[in-house]
Structure 1
Amino acid sequence: AEWRGSNILGWALMEARTTLSEEAAHTGSAPKRPRCAMEPPLRPARWPSPMELRERWQKISGEQTVVEFYSHSRGHYRAFSNFYETGMAFEMPSELRRYPWVVDCLPCGFSEKAIMLCKAAVFGDENTYKNVA
C-alpha cells in the first residue's frame, strides 16, 4: 500500500511492513507462533481503509461524547493510559521477529513498553530494545 499520510513514523512503519512481508514471501515459511501466556485479541477479518474511515467520520455530525483522560495514576479512565501499570504477556508481532535478539513473548508492566519494543524492532535498534526489555 502506498503511504498517503504526512507522519514520518507512519511512513517508516509502512516501509518496514512491506519489506518484512516481501522477505516472508521469499522464504516461503510461515512465522512460528510463540508460546505466550495470553492469546492476542481477535482481529477483524478486514480493517477499514483510510478512505472508509474518512467517509465514516465525515458522516458524524453534532456534539459527540469524548472520554478525556490524562494520568495513569488517578481518575476513572486511568487504564486508557499507555503508562497504566498492569501485568501482561506481550507477543511480539511475527513481522517484527526478524532479528535473533527479538523475544517472541515477554512480560510488560504497561503498554508503552510493548510499543517501545516494537519501535526498536522495526528500526533494528538492538541496544534500545535490550534496555527497554
Structure 2
Amino acid sequence: MRSRFLVGAASTAGAWSLAALSLGLLAACAQPPPPEEPDPCNVQVVTLRLYADDIINPNEGDRPRPVQVRLYQLSNDLRLQNAKYDDILLRDAETLGEDMLKRDEVTVYPNDLVEIKFERIPEAVFLGGAAMFRDPQG
C-alpha cells in the first residue's frame, strides 16, 4: 500500500509539473503588450489677431482700402530691422536671405479683425510683419 501511495504522489507531482509547463507555454503564446503611446508632438500653433481701422490705407478720395500684410518667421531679425521699406516690398527674399524661414500673406480689410493661425517652425525665433500700404510715405 505504501508503494501505491508513493506512485500516486509521484504521478500527482508529475501532473502538477505538466500543468505548470502547459500554463507556461500558454502564457508564452499570449498577445504581446500593447505598444507604448508615443511622446506628444512639440508643435506650437500661434494665433495672431490683426485689426484694421475703418480709415486704413486711404486712396485719393480718402476712402479706405484693404492692406496686404506679410508675416515672416525668422531665425534672426537683424536683416529685417536694418531693411528699408522698399527692400521688403520688392525684394523680401533677397533682403532677408536665409533668415526668412517662411512667409505668409494675408489681406486685412478696413474695420475688420483677422485671426491667423499657423504652426511655428521650430527654428523660428522671431515673427516679423510688414504692411503693404498704397502710399507708405503718408
Q: Give the TM interval when normalised to the shorter protein.
A: under 0.3
TM-score under structure 1 length normalisation = 0.20
- Asked which structure has the greater RCO (Cα within 8 Å, sep 6+), the reply is 2
Higher helix share: 1
Higher gyration radius (CA): 2
Higher strand share: 2
TM-score under structure 2 length normalisation = 0.20
